[in-house]
Structure 1
Amino acid sequence: MRTLWQKSSYSGVDAEDCLELAPHEPHIALRESETPDDTLTATPKALAALIRACKTPAGRQRQPTQRPTAHLEMRGG
């Protein structure tokens, strides 16, 4: 089965180095377009927590109830 990768909308039309996502049931696969053989898989919940953490301003601490339970797995060559 062929994986259908979706480029991040922040990458622009002609960008060569961008983040790509693809469904990988029950997870979501992520990869950098410059190194497509290296992928990261995450549950949708873990990916949402990662995105929230990236958007959290530096120095702002999260409350303990916000601590995500994440499953991230690195694969590649």
Structure 2
Amino acid sequence: MVYILLDNAIKYTRAGGDVKISLLQERSYLCIAVQDTEVGIKNEDINRIFERFYRADKSRSRQMGGHGLGLSSAK
């Protein structure tokens, strides 16, 4: 799961951008946050990013490769 999140962040961050991973504990939970310096995900796409084959930006699918299964597998 961590690999998929990092892979997406790196793949969709332009050269010169940053990817940050944070690990923190909230009560008895361990939380991992992956953050990049790109524009982010539009509000209307947030609820769909874990759907199989869904791509918020269809134009990037040919450039970046993949099949749109990564985040649904991570979920």
The TM-score bracket by the shorter chain reads: under 0.3
- The structure with the greater share of residues assigned to strand is 1
- Tell me: higher relative CO, structure 1 or 2? Use CA pairs within 8 A at least 6 residues apart: 2
TM-score computed with the length of structure 1 as normaliser: 0.24
**The structure with more helix, counted as a fraction of residues:** 2
